[in-house]
Structure 1
Amino acid sequence: MNQTTLFIADLHLSPSRPDITAAFLRFMQEEANQAEALYVLGDLFEFSIGDDEPSALNDEVAAAFKACAEQGTPVYFIHGNRDFMVGRRFARQAGMTLLPEHQVIDLYGEPTLIMHGDTLCIDDAGYQRYRRITRWGWLQWLFLRLPLSRRMRIADGIRGKSAESKENKVMQVMDVNQGEVERQMRRYKVRSLIHGHTHRPAIHQLDINGQSARRIVLGDWYTQGSVLAVTPQGVELQSRAFEEAR
């Protein structure tokens, strides 16, 4: 096992994209199990309607995480805006640890704030209102008690509305708010932040209280795999090509 910590986000796994699933499973089998730790920063799935959903894909993903954890690589998960219904049952099945939406970790001596990233997009008032409502514990409790078929119809409706909403918004509204980025970094007393959600992989340099800081944005897995590899020597955003269907 080498001194490398890996971060991924925004895979949006679904039965309709077997190419993404294949790339993810290959990554788990060939790379993740060699790392010191793996952090999944949300939107692993395109949508989650609860741990009781009968899904071959979910079982396959859980098995891949479990195998990785059993080989000595701990797996940590932060909910995204698509998979916030992933719960303790799936976490146990996958052998992974659920983390709160904002978490500070010691990354080779550097206190680092990790999150999905949607809480930084405060200019999108409509989304933030939706987010607050869907995180109400009593509402999630009620949702999980609906029949699976009803939950699936609701999920399909939400996906459709989300796609329509994105088409009508300017990109600046859906991106992070710089002031909120700096506020959260000051709040948690860090000079390093890692997140996903915006699908704009980059390493941004910034100033926090007169000190140099950085914000690392993970990429999505729509057209290629995207991995952040962190070692004691530095950080690198990497891509992974999808294999062509045979």
Structure 2
Amino acid sequence: MGLMSDTRPTLFVSDLHLPPETSPLRQRFLRFLDGPAREAAAVYILGDLFESWIGDDIGLLQYAPEVAALSALTARGIPVYFQHGNRDFIVGRDFFDLTGIAELPDPHRVDLHGTPTLVSHGDLYCTDDRAYQRWRRFSRIRFAQRVFLMLPRARRERIAGGLRSGSDRAKQNKAENIMDVNPGAIRGGMAQAGVRRIIHGHTHRPGTYDVELPIGAAQRIVLPDWRDDSCDYLRIDADGITRQAAPA
């Protein structure tokens, strides 16, 4: 997965939270796939592409335009890589088989134009939020996922809606700092991977942050979340890193 010799840019997005109903966000993503993504060496989707995914049997129909556009992109020979987020952790094998997208473990090390980089959705490093980490571990249990997928659609929709509402309420009662990444967890993850750069999403706090490692100065890059008035992606090439707006 090394991209050192490719002069084309590598693109990153995360936290688009595309809703199942028609929305401007979905149109912007389709234009992104039909525009900048076609000129890329690779596209990385680092979690929470979808606001809710309650099973491939339903999601593939709800998001049929996006599935078709992603399939068309990979058919052109452009690799697309996907990490699960906390909203779409149950995206399954049918999605990957149909779209031709490669599923990535979280975290994952990749060489980006000569720079070893760790990529992650980011929630793994929010270790101060212990209640969330307990939920995260439970939600990744395969047996629990299989039981959920056996439920009728209406039941799954109610459960997903209740979880989103509960998450929103919980955020209102949590200190801001515990919903951000833990600096020690970030340093530990980067040191273990042997990198000086990490790219992640999840926190909705986009920017570039300095990290001090035993081997020297390092970088933590947080991807922008998408909103109706701001739909940005990260572009990385041999000349550096830029934040760009998806075609309106």
* TM-score, scaled relative to structure 1: 0.94
Does residue 166 of structure 2 align to residue 161 of structure 1?
yes
Report 1:225-240 matches (<5 A). Answer: 225-240=231-246
Report 1:1-246 matches (<5 A). Answer: 3-16=8-21, 18-53=23-58, 56-222=61-227, 223-240=229-246, 243=248
Contact 2:60 2:67 in 1 (8 A): no
**CA separation in 2, counterparts of 1:171 and 1:16?**
30
CA displacement 1:94-139 (0-9 Å, x = unmatched) = 1101111111011111111001000111111111111111111111
The CA deviation at 1:168 is 1.2
Contact 1:2 1:35 in 2 (8 A): no
Runs of 4+, deviation exceeding 4 Å: none
**CA separation in 1, counterparts of 2:237 and 2:194?**
22
Which amino acid is the alignment partner of residue 135 of structure 1? R
Distance of aligned partners of 1:203 and 1:26 in 2 relative to their CA distance in 1, 3 Å threshold: same
**CA separation in 2, counterparts of 1:95 and 1:55?**
13
Indicate the larger mover: 78-87 or 59-68: 59-68
Distance of aligned partners of 1:54 and 1:97 in 2 relative to their CA distance in 1, 3 Å threshold: closer
The CA deviation at 1:12 is 0.3
Which amino acid is the alignment partner of residue 160 of structure 1? S
**CA separation in 1, counterparts of 2:63 and 2:76?**
20
The CA deviation at 1:56 is 4.0
Tell me, what secondary structure is at the counterpart of 1:53? helix
**CA separation in 2, counterparts of 1:170 and 1:16?**
32
The CA deviation at 1:191 is 0.7
The CA deviation at 1:237 is 2.1
The CA deviation at 1:161 is 0.5
Distance of aligned partners of 1:38 and 1:127 in 2 relative to their CA distance in 1, 3 Å threshold: same
**CA separation in 2, counterparts of 1:196 and 1:15?**
21
CA displacement 1:31-59 (0-9 Å, x = unmatched) = 10110000000000001111111654421
* TM-score, scaled relative to structure 2: 0.93
**CA separation in 1, counterparts of 2:225 and 2:33?**
16
Tell me, what secondary structure is at the counterpart of 2:63? helix
Which amino acid is the alignment partner of residue 99 of structure 2? A
The CA deviation at 1:210 is 3.8
Q: Which runs of 5+ in 2 are unaligned?
A: 1-5
Which amino acid is the alignment partner of residue 78 of structure 1? Q
Contact 1:8 1:228 in 2 (8 A): yes
Tell me, what secondary structure is at the counterpart of 1:221? coil
Q: Which runs of 5+ in 1 are unaligned?
A: none
The CA deviation at 1:239 is 3.1
Identity rate, percent: 44
Indicate the larger mover: 222-231 or 13-22: 13-22
